[in-house]
Chains A and B, each alone.
Chain A
């Protein structure tokens, strides 16, 4: 059974810092890994999708890496802004069974 763990559970940083959010999974037989953002009272927004054959994806200030063999992914946020405050969820998909981590709650204060 796939288990997904996200560290840290919560993070509070001043504006401008570069951040690393971690996601680990127990079963490396995955199709893809996806990072989401969840804002209070809103749905999930997909940030980055990494196929199992890929090692990283970039979008603006976000960069996500995937190391299948070690069961790890990291989400790197450069030059954080208050607008980045949200919960970040990692989801691993294999055989139509997406499994989510519990998320990292991020607060970026001015």
Chain B
């Protein structure tokens, strides 16, 4: 059973498009995150949701918006995609201790 699942795994899209990445966790965790991994493999947190409430919002462009329909899901919506948005995006969940990560979504903007 996959603990944290992301879809799609690969996403290629043109500049200016709007896209979404879905994330689901079946661990019953309270907190979910979105991370961006840049070309130098540096992982930076973008958003964190705890019990459906946004508690961290790093200085990311407002073209990025997290949406949590319920405790098990945290989707990432990206509007007006830019070339610099190309990266691998990881979803994660945790329950105050160990964090579990999804397999990542490789986004390529052309």
Taking beta carbons and an 8 Å cutoff, which residues of A are in contact with B? 31-32, 34, 36, 38, 42-46, 49, 51, 87, 89, 91, 93, 96-100, 102-103, 105
B27 within 8 Å of A (CB atoms) = no
State whether A96 and B41 are in contact (beta carbons under 8 Å apart), knowing that A46-B100, A49-B97 are contacts in the complex. no
Q: Give B28 Cβ to nearest chain A Cβ, in Å.
A: 17
**What are 11 inter-chain pairs, A to B, with CB distance below 8 A?**
A31-B97, A44-B101, A46-B98, A91-B43, A91-B99, A96-B31, A97-B48, A100-B44, A102-B41, A102-B42, A103-B41
**B interface residues with partner A (beta carbon < 8 Å):** 4, 31, 33, 35, 40-45, 48, 50, 55-56, 90, 92, 94, 96-104
Q: Do the beta carbons of B42 and A34 come within 8 Å of each other?
A: no
Chain B residues whose CB sits within 8 angstroms of the CB of A36 once the complex forms: 101
Q: In the complex, which of the residues A49, A100, A102 contacts B98, with contact meaning CB atoms closer than 8 Å?
A: A49
Given the complex, which residues of B lie within 8 Å of A49, measured CB to CB? 97-98
With A32-B97, A42-B104, A97-B56 given, name 6 new contacts (CB 8 A): A31-B96, A34-B98, A43-B90, A96-B50, A102-B40, A105-B41
- Chain A min CB distance to B7 (Å): 13
Which of B4, B48, B100 is in CB contact (< 8 Å) with A96?
Answer: B48
Contact B97 A96 (CB under 8 A): no
A102, closest chain B residue (CB): B42
